[in-house]
Structure formats: C-alpha cells, structure tokens
Structure 1
Amino acid sequence: MSHLPDDTSSSAYEPYNAERPLLMRCACGQDHAPNQHIQVASSVEEAGRQFMEAALVKALFPVDGVRRGFLKAVGANTARAAIASVLPLGALQAMAQDKGALEKKDLKVGFIAITCASPLIMAEPLGFYKKEGLNVQLNKTAGWALIRDKMINKEHDASHFLSPMPLAMSMGLGSTQMPMNVASIQNTNGQAITLHVKHKDKRDPKSWKGFKFAVPFEYSMHNFLLRYYLAENGLNPDTDVQIRVTPPPEMVANLRAGNIDGFLGPDPFNQRAVYDEVGFIHILSKEIWDGHPCCAFGVSDAFIQQNPNTFAALYRSVLTASFMASQAKDRELIARVIAPTQYLNQPEAVLMQVLTGKFADGLGNIKNVPDRANFDPIPWQSMAVWMLTQMKRWGYIKGDVNYKQIAEKVFLLTEAKKQMALVGFKPPEGAYKKFKVMGKEFDPAKPDDYVKSFAISKMG
C-alpha cells in the first residue's frame, strides 16, 4: 500500500502569526485573499471564525504598512477585542443580510464526492453558509446524469457541475434545454490520466490502440482533455480506443477488475488507485493544460431571477471558501474537513496527497507538485469558448456556433467580479484570458479557425 510521504506532516504547516500582514497570493496570482492566518485548528468552526476576523482586519486596514503597524503596536488579542467591540462578527453577518433580505434560507445543493467540490463542501462545516444566513443541505449524488436531472427537476437549488454541463444544458445537448449559469469555477487542474499497473511499460500513448478508457461524463473536461491528448499523440479517440462514461466512485473498481485500461478522472480516485496498488499516475491533467477548469458551481436562470439575494449570499459563501481553498497552507485542514463519510468518505492520507501535491505516483516516485489541484474561482469566458470548440470538434454540436454569445450568457464573469468585490477581494481584469493547451495557444477571438486547425477531429 502506498502511503503519504513522511515529510507531509502537520509540523510543516505554517501557524498563524497575527503580527504578519494578512495578505495572501490567491490562485489567480494576486495578493488579495485575506486568509493567511488559518491554522490547523481543532475546531472547524474556530477556523471559519478566524478567517472572518482576518477578512475584517484587512477591510478595516487595507494598507499593508498601516495594518502591520497596528497589529504590532497593540498585539493580536487587543486588536481582536477592539475590532469586536466596534463590529462583532454577529454584526458582520447582519451586514450580509442588509445586502438584501434572503428570499429563501433553506437550500439543497448537490455534489459529487470528489476533491473538485472542496469549496462547496467545506463551506458547510467551516460555517461560511451560516455566516450568510443560509441553511444549506449538501446532497451527495451518485453521478453526473443524476446531478443534471435533479437540477432540471428542481430537486436541487444549486449544484456542483462539470464546467461544460451548464453550457450543454443551456443548449439542450443530451437533455431537456434549461438555461443554466456557471457562477464560479470550483477547481482548476486536479485530474490525471491513471493507467492499470499492468501497463507500466506502455508510457507512450501511441501504444494505447485498443485501450478502454473511462471518463465521468460526455460533457466534461475529462472527456475533452483525454480526446485532445490522444489526438495530439496520433490516436483517433473515436476509432482507436474506447471511451466509456463511468461514475467517478466506480473508476477504481473498474480498473481493478480489468474492465478498463485507464481513466482520465477526478481526484481523489487517481490517488486512490495508487493507494490501492491497482494503478499509477501517467500524467497530471495540468501537464495537458496548466490551470484548466474542471468543475463549477452553478444555478439556473430561474433561481437567480426568483432569489437574487439568496443567490448572492450563496455565491459569497462559495467564493470565500474558494479563496481559502486556493491557499496551499490551508490544504491539510481542508483534507480533514472533507474526508468524513457524509462528504468524500476517503482516507485522509489520500486527500492529503492530492491537496498538498506531495504524492506517490505508483511508479516508485514521490512527486512534489503544489498546484496539482487548485481553486481559482474565476469563470473566464475564454474557457467556455474553448469547451464549445471541443464540442464542435467532436460532433456534439452541429452547425454554426455563436461562441461569444453562449459563453457570456452562461459564464457569469460580471457577477463574479461584483461578488468578489463585496467580500473584499480584488477582481481580475478582462474576460477572455489566453492560455495554452499542450503548447498550442488558444485565441478565443478565432474559435472557428481553432476548430479547423486540428488534424484529427470529426470536422475533417
């Protein structure tokens, strides 16, 4: 059995120092996530309370030097007492309510038990939903088709999604058409291509003809990234291999039974395959596209229209959790928070390896990749355009596509920036961030040219 490396212990976790500036670099590369002080707390409620206190300190003293001077002069305890006397945390919650009376306080939110859902899950035990006046019931759901159906049937108010799913649902692809929205990206990176241990001598994808692969859903980054990777290595994903839709919790069992040769799937199941000694990690998905989106937090058009204040409160809760999750030093706490049965139901050792990036790869190596999984919440519309190009490339969309119109309707970037500002974070600029996939730059202004540029596709 593979175990967490010995050097990934809680002793390596940097404790809170109240006299240090409460600035932190978030996943988008800017110093604006005020949660540096979260420590491995014995109480998750205490961790949530400390996080809110630090956010309040930064809001009151936005200039670094002034904040440092204040904390150094009076000390952490005096500062805490002074701030509480002026604006206690209860008042902070009241301020959130003042942003608009909540139309609905009791919410049902669906999720799949994978690390991609960390922000959505951790916001409940850490108290971020409660601080916005919400009572959220997290509903563990078996698979992505069921997630889709429960949203269409209005059994869930909001949900964890694969980021291409709201695009597909809004267009009526694979299901009844229902206008959906991506409010935030839940995670970036955090996936891998995992192969059965019997294939350790087949690291060249050109040797994979006839392989059977699993992905969690057709409208998933997993499917699009696997197809991209195979095609770039000369394999036609529709004729040279088989790609099967398999719920993430069933991937390791299917690998063990020999029903599949590998999968491009979400963690923790890549690491669980290593832990159970049935698979090895061929490559991380970040090696295909570093910073790629995977899962999303989404709601329907109707929910936003009927419950605008509730939506905003829910959104702020998830954004706050996302920024906390983006900090490497908070990952050990998060692994413990999401490990229990009602959430991921996984060994902490497996989750620690995924979230800290110090992991055994199943090939005898210990890797250190801090951004193996990350949690940048920005729903860049260029990401949506890329997903649409891959739907077009592989025949999921027929005819002409108005890429820009669909991306801007479904990916709520403007709303994301507004809510980020309300919780004290500096929003990024722009909407169509550029990026590279396997070394090839994607220009979101020329999606049709991009689709036509590939040697292997259903377009040619």
Structure 2
Amino acid sequence: MFRRLLSDQPLIPSLRSWSCACGQSHPPTGVCSPTVADVSVETHIQQTQEAALLKALFPASALRRKLLQTVGAASLRAAVASALPAGALVSLQAMAQEQRTPEKKDLKLGFLPITCATPLIGAHPMGLYQQRGLNVQLVKTPGWGTIRERMLKGELDATHFLSPMPLAMSLGLGSPAQPMHVASIQNTNGNAITLHQKHKDNRDPKNWKGMRFGIPFEHSMHNYLLRYYLAEHGLNPDKDVTLQVMAPPDMLAQLKAQTIDGFIVAEPFNQRAVFEGVGFIHLLTKAIWDGHPCCAFGVSAAFIQQFPDTFSALYRAIISASVLASLPGSREQMVQAIAQPQYLNQPPELLMQVMTGKYDDGLGTRHDVPDRILFDPVPWHSQAIWMLTQMKRWGYVKNDVNFQHIADQVFLLTDAKKQMAQAGWRAPEGTMRSHRIMGKAFDANKPDEYLRSFPIRAGA
C-alpha cells in the first residue's frame, strides 16, 4: 500500500472499497464497531498523510524510488514518523500545499565544515535545493564570529548557526541586537570532550583545575554543556579553568601544540584527534544531556518577512535532508556527499565513525553508539529556555528574562503550530519536552527555580 501511495497516482483513494481491519470491504463507517472503524480510518489517514509528506519532502519521483530501493518502504516511512515530530510534519505539509514560487532564487548560505551541518550541506549535492527552485551557494566559513558578522551585515541570506546564537543575537549579547530565528535544529548530540593523550590517566574532572579548554563560541551548547559538566564536579568554570574561544578547525592544531589541554567541539575534530593519535574522546556530550540540541538552521526575521516563500522552500529542502540523514541506510550516501573538499574535506571512513557511532575512542576501546549524532529538526521552546537559563547562570544576561516570550519569538515552533491549525491538522500539545541534564530534571515552566538550584553560578 505504501509503495502505491508513493507513486504519482492520486494520494487519497476512494474509501468506498477500502478494506477495513475486520477484513471486509465496506465503507469505514459501516458494519464494524465504532472503535475498530475509527482506529482503521485513523491508521489509513495517517499512512496517506505520511505518503503525501514524502512527496512534499522529496518531490522528485526518481529520488523517492531510489530511497525505497535503498532503505526500504518501512524504514523510510518510520523515518518520517519518528524523525519529524508532529509539529514539523504538519507545518511542512501546510507549506507543501501552497507550492509557491520563491521570491528570491539565488541564495548564499553560510556553514562551518562540521557534521552538525549535515542537513544544510547535504541538501546541496543531493539536489534538494534545486528541486525547490533555489540556486544555493554554500559559503564555507572558518568560525562562528564570522558567521555572526556576515549575518548582521546581510552578506548571507541564511546560515548554519549554533542554536543559542539567534537567541544571543536577538538579545544583543556580544553584538548589536537584531531579531533572528531558529527555523530548525540541525542536529542533536554529535559532540564530545576530547583531551590530549597526556591526560589519559587524568579522567576525573575534579582534578582539572588549572587546565585550558577550547570552545567554539561563547554562545554555544559546547560552552554551556562544558560549564555544566565542570560545575557538577565542583569546579567553577570562570575561576578554576580557562575557556578559550577558537574556531573548530584550529582546535586540533592547538591540542597538538599543547597550548590547550582539551576541547569540546563538533565532529569530525574529536574523531580526527583520535585518528591522528594526539587525543582521546573523554566523553560524548550525549552522556551529559542525551538528545541535546546543537546546531540550527537560522534566518533573520527580516528575511522571512521579505521572502516568505523562499524561506518555506529552504525549510522544506533542509527538512528533507534531515530525513535522509536520519536513515541508517542512506547515511553512507550522505557521508560521501558531505566529505567532498568543498564541504567537510574529510576522509569518508572518518565521518562514518561519527555517523554510525562505531568508533575508537583513542584509549583502545571500540564503541557502538548508534545515536552518537541524530537529526531531529524540531526547535522546542524548552530547549531555548534551557539555553537562556545558562546565559543567565553564567552572567551573559544581566537583567531579568521573560524566558517563554524570548523562546516563542526566536524558536519557530509556534509558527509551525499555527500553520498546522490553518491546514486543518491537530496541533501537538504544548511547546515543551522533558529534559534531563546529568540526571537532573529540567522543568522549562520553572526556569528561575531551576537557576536558584545551582550553588555554582556567576555572582554566587
């Protein structure tokens, strides 16, 4: 049935001759008990919606057929159901129904050469931008400060962001305030704390006083997670260690020169340190917060207002790439695409260790962690609120914060729910998800209480 629905035939067949779960062919509101009939109709509608969404995600029928042959119908369908929670499914479906021509077709998108940018990068060689009528130029950028400056100057139309950056830029932290949005999360997990080999017998963070660590940017999940990790082990990250901002590609050279003791960063630089024998992976960041957001696809508020249909086309292309990156059967294809010199410029076998989670840690142990990196694109407000609590905790935000208001303004989940309702779909309940960071529950509805629970924080 799923293969037929993925064909170019009409997506919603007549229900008059559809076979119910009872095994009989009859109108679904006919002889079955209401409970069975309702469940059967709901299942059928869900399958039809998923098939329609696949056509929205992958408009080229040849690509859909190739995916079905490569990963199988069941895997592809499961990816749509699980990789994209309901809010994203419906907002995407609502956009797909419009089929409008992009107002601006020639676009420049910024990115850093890291695996976190897989959806934004992978959409390019796999033709997903072109299928949406977009002519995209990917602009490789060495560091996050440059990304911020180019977005503020309007030199980039959209970009690969660290997920806290649009929050910080909207608040005017470290730069003039300019409203920015997180349209989708690029990846979850996918980072690690790496130490120089000389520290292989110094694995207890309580003994790290005086050490120097590289971080990619002040307003990054890397900075917030490392600070959290150190503080949970009794160290004040502002007093007991040195955190030095540096571009991700520079971290390995700094580790080799022993000007830093370790770093926390995205891949492939952790695995590259192992590959070159200079460092070892102390800890995957998923051990701090399993499922934490990392990078994001972001645009300015002005861009969405001026080019709404271009934004929708961009969003659909990147979500499509997120689905592809989430399929184990297509990850090798994605790795081959992003490994090219103009993108990550890394050996495919190195990237496969990251994408499959089958990797060496540099200490002689082989690991199998399938969720080492994931590509869940939904920007939950609870994620944004946690980031804001850490900005407040470490003194980046000095004044009182309306956490929910800022999350609503910057993370576009609310807009997705509006589109969902307008399309006649049932919106998901709430905007929050439950999170646990190092075993401690985070209630996004009580951010001030959460903040007060930490004995180690700025000014305490």
Q: TM-score surpassing 0.5?
A: yes
* Residue type of the alignment partner of 2:275: Y
Partners of 2:450 and 2:6 in 1: CA distance: 45
Q: Which residue of 1 aligns with 2:386?
A: 386
Query: What 5-or-longer segments of structure 2 have no aligned partner?
Result: 8-45, 55-59, 79-94
Instruction: Check the 8 A contact 1:312/1:419 in 2, yes or no.
Output: no
Q: Which residue of 2 aligns with 1:67?
A: none
Distance 1:357 1:20, change over 3 A: farther
Q: Is the 8 A contact 2:101 2:133 kept in 1?
A: no
Inter-partner Cα distance in structure 2 for 1:230 and 1:173: 23
Change (3 A) 1:197 1:34: farther
Counterpart position of 2:129 = 129
Tell me, what secondary structure is at the counterpart of 2:127?
coil
**Aligned: 1:106 with 2:118:** no
Spell out the pairing of 1:157-176 with structure 2 (5 A cutoff). Answer: 157-176=157-176
- 1:50 is aligned, of 53, 66, 78, to 66
Report the alpha carbon displacement of residue 374 of structure 1 after superposing the two structures with TM: 0.5
Q: Distance in 2 between matches of 1:310 and 1:21?
A: 26
Give the structure 2 partner of residue 402 of structure 1.
Answer: 402
Paired amino acid for 2:145: A
- Give the CA deviation at 1:309: 0.6
CA distance in structure 2 between the aligned counterparts of 1:428 and 1:374, rounded to whole angstroms = 22
Distance 1:33 1:267, change over 3 A: farther
- Deviation at 1:428? 5.2
What does residue 141 of structure 1 align with? Answer: 141
For 1:134 and 1:426, how far apart are their aligned partners in 2?
31
Counterparts of 2:396 and 2:204, CA distance in 1: 28
Q: How does 1:236-275 map to 2 (within 5 A)?
A: 236-275=236-275
8 Å contact 1:316–1:420 — kept in the other structure? no
| Contact in 2 for aligned 1:452/1:459 (Cα 8 Å) | no
Tell me which amino acid in the other structure corresponds to 1:208.
W
* AA aligned opposite 1:312: S
Answering whether residue 385 of structure 2 is matched by residue 369 of structure 1, we say: no
Question: Quick one: distance in 1 between partners of 2:394 and 2:223?
Answer: 10
Q: Does structure 1 retain, via aligned residues, the 8 Å contact 2:70–2:329?
A: no
Secondary structure of the 1:398 match is coil
> Which deviates further from its counterpart, 115-124 or 325-334?
325-334
Q: Verify the 8 A CA contact 1:315 1:419 in the aligned structure 2.
A: no
Task: Specify the SS of the correspondent of 1:299.
Answer: strand
- Distance in 1 (CA, whole Å) between partners of 2:418 and 2:106 is 24
Q: Which has the larger radius of gyration?
A: 2
Which consecutive unaligned segments of at least 5 residues does structure 1 have? Answer: 1-16, 23-29, 38-43, 63-94
What amino acid is aligned across from residue 325 of structure 1 in structure 2?
A
Q: How much does 1:330 deviate?
A: 1.9
> Which residues in structure 2 correspond to 1:409-448 (within 5 Å)?
409-416=409-416, 429-448=429-448
The alignment status of 1:324 with 2:324, answered yes or no, reads: yes
Shift in Å at residue 155 of structure 1?
A: 0.4
Give the AA of the match of 1:341. P
Deviations 1:66-114 (A, max 9, x none): xxxxxxxxxxxxxxxxxxxxxxxxxxxxx96952232101110000000
DSSP 3-state at the match of 1:194: strand
Equivalent pair of 2:70/2:330 in contact (CA under 8 Å): no
Partners of 2:196 and 2:61 in 1: CA distance? 41
Q: Distance in 1 between matches of 2:50 and 2:363?
A: 36
TM-score (norm 2): 0.80
SS in 1 for 2:128: coil
Q: Deviations over 1:150-181 (max 9, x none)?
A: 00000000000000000000000000111000
Cα displacement (A) at 1:332: 1.4
> Which residue number in structure 2 is paired with residue 73 of structure 1?
none
Distance 2:197 2:5 in 1: 47
Distance verdict in 2 for CA 1:321–1:20, change over 3 Å: same
Counterparts of 1:50 and 1:33, CA distance in 2: 18
Identity of aligned residues (%): 59
Write the mapping of 1:187-266 to structure 2, written as runs, cut at 5 A. Answer: 187-266=187-266
Q: Which TM-score applies when normalising by structure 1?
A: 0.80
Q: Which amino acid aligns with 2:66?
A: Q
Aligned residue identity for 2:241 = V
Matches within 5 A, 1:16-31: none
* DSSP-derived class of the 2:193 partner: strand
Deviation at 1:326, TM superposition (A): 1.6
Give matches, 1:292-303, under 5 Å: 292-303=292-303
Aligned to 1:458: 458
Distance 1:152 1:389 in 2: 25
1:430 positional shift: 2.7
Structure 2: distance between partners of 1:128 and 1:415? 23
Determine the C-alpha separation between the residues in 2 that align with 1:366 and 1:327. 23
Rounded Cα–Cα distance in structure 1 between residues aligned with 2:62 and 2:278? 39
Shift of 1:329: 2.4
Equivalent position of 1:9 in the other structure: none
Contact 2:280-2:363 within 8 A present in 1 as well: yes
**Contact 1:316/1:419 (8 A) holds in 2:** no
Deviation at 1:126, TM superposition (A): 0.7
* 1:262 to 1:279, Cα distance in 2 relative to 1, 3 A: same
Write the distance in 1 (CA, Å) between the matches of 2:174 and 2:260.
24
Give, in whole Å, the separation in 2 of the partners of 1:426 and 1:47. Answer: 29
CA contact (8 A) 2:144 2:247 kept: yes
Contact 2:5 2:51 in 1 (8 A): no
More moved, 412-421 vs 392-401 = 412-421
Q: Tell me how far apart the structure 2 counterparts of residues 318 and 52 of structure 1 sit (CA, whole Å).
A: 20
Provide the secondary structure at the position in 2 that maps to 1:298: strand
Distance 1:404 1:121 in 2: 31
Tell me: CA distance 1:394–1:34, structure 2 relative to 1, closer, same or farther (3 Å): farther
1:311 partner letter: F
Alpha-carbon distance between aligned partners in 2 of 1:366 and 1:177, rounded to the nearest angstrom:
46
Asked whether the 8 Å contact 1:181–1:300 carries over to 2, the reply is yes
Q: Matched residues in 2 for 1:112 and 1:233: separation?
A: 31
The aligned amino acid for 1:414 is: T
Q: Aligned partners of 1:445 and 1:290: how far apart in 2?
A: 20
Using the alignment, how far apart are the partners of 1:124 and 1:189 within structure 2? 23
What whole-Å deviation, never above 9, does each CA across 1:394-434 have from its counterpart, x for those lacking one?
Answer: 000001000000000000013345779999x9985431111
In structure 2, distance between residues paired with 1:277 and 1:47? 40
Q: Secondary structure at the match of 1:129?
A: helix
